[in-house]
Structure 1
Amino acid sequence: MKLISAIVATAAGAALAAGPVPDASAQRYWNKKVRCEQTDPEGRVIPTRYGNGELGWNHFSGKHNIKRCRIVEAALAGKVDKKNGGRLEYHGVARNGTRLVNIVVIVQYARRTADGEYDAGKGKKVGVITAYCKGVNKCPDWINQ
């Protein structure tokens, strides 16, 4: 009897030492709170969620220097320029006098991202994945004025 309990205890200890088994359905953390929201011409209500460093407001406001909801909302007020399932792409233009910059907004109009890493919850849409100025790494500061 002692031998069996020692084997069981050793096997359990080995399993604990190896750490937890990853859950295939585990998803990444992101802030689902809505920062801004826009309805497109076809009636889609598109949220811009805070997200994290990979998607949403926290991603593009830092990486791409878009710090005003109105920039994203202006692009979403136009028609969908590209559609692939739940992935929608909107194009817009920001102007300041003679300065122009093309804005691209990528939306996941579905509950989950295509890779399944993020889930907005039952009855909700992921919304804006990213927004950026076409042809540059960061948008010019003047678009945020």
Structure 2
Amino acid sequence: MAADPAYKILKHLKYKGPGHASLRVGYYNSAKDKGFGWNKLKKKHNITKYGAVEYVAQSPNRDHIGGQSYREIAYAGKYKCRNGVCKLVKQYKVQLTVNEKKLRDGQDKGVITMYCTGVLKCPKWVSTTLAKLNRRSAASTDEQYQRSYRPLAPSTRTLTATAVPAEKAAPAHKPSLNTPVSSGAAE
């Protein structure tokens, strides 16, 4: 009998809990609002980068939520900048749920869901920001994006990096409690 393709592991994520967190293909059925794994993250919550999931999986904010399930929390924010000062205009608390139950393949069940608190679908910039540190908008040099394991400051100074498209920008500053994200393949 063939194995269920939903349980295929796409990536072993670095994880704050024991071992690694398995990111499985999963599934999402919108009619029943059921699912887990990568397909649920993408289809229901608009999480589109493996690196975003891995960043949150490494959060020091780890709470037991019942049984063998744990929740990690991180934050993504968008700043508008003017005259060298940036003001926070939008911040999302991003929650990741991981189940550590061991399955027949000897791996943990892994990532169940990840979402932005308060909205069904995260804006696209949330995934990009969590996956890569300190980005400015490609369309405008007056925007800056930050990620953190703590709520973001209401204002900050602008980065000195040249504005480049968010997908190609190099980190210019590393706020405290940020951990480097591995360059994951298959994003």
Structure 1 window deviating more from structure 2 (44-53 vs 89-98): it is 89-98
| Separation of aligned partners in 2, 1:37 and 1:84 | 23
| TM-score, length basis structure 1 | 0.67
Matched, 1:49 2:3: no
Give 5+ residue unaligned stretches, structure 1.
1-28, 112-119
* Aligned match for 2:117, one of 116, 126, 134: 134
The count of corresponding residues between Structure 1 and Structure 2 is 110
Q: Taking structure 1 as reference, are residues 96 and 121 closer, same or farther at Cα in structure 2, changes over 3 Å only?
A: farther
- Which structure features the higher share of strand residues? 2
- 1:77 and 1:130 map into 2 onto residues whose CA distance is 15
Structure 2 distance, partners of 1:130, 1:42, is: 16
In the alignment, structure 2 segments of 5+ residues that lack a partner are 29-34, 80-87, 129-187
Q: Distance in 1 between matches of 2:26 and 2:8?
A: 8
CA contact (8 A) 1:71 1:94 kept: no
| Corresponding residue for residue 33 of structure 1 | 8
| Aligned pair partner of 1:92 in 61, 74, 80 | 74
Identity, in percent, stands at: 27
Seen in structure 2, the aligned counterparts of structure 1 residues 133 and 125 have a Cα distance that, compared at 3 Å, is same
Taking a change above 3 Å as real, the CA distance of residues 102 and 57 of structure 1, as seen in their structure-2 partners, is: same
Distance 1:56 1:95, change over 3 A: same
Report what 2:31 is aligned to. Answer: none
Q: Give 1 or 2: higher helix fraction.
A: 1
Q: 1:95-141: CA deviations, max 9, x gaps?
A: 34333211101111012xxxxxxxx3242111001110011111012
Greater Cα radius of gyration, structure 1 or 2: 1
- The one of 12, 22, 41 equivalent to 1:60 is 41
SS of the equivalent of 2:8 reads strand
In structure 2, the residue matched to 1:8 is none
Alpha-carbon separation, structure 1, partners of 2:56 and 2:94: 7
Instruction: Flag as ranges the 4+ runs of structure 1 deviating above 4 A.
Output: none
The amino acid that maps onto 1:51 is G
CA deviation after TM superposition for structure 1 residue 30, in Å: 4.8
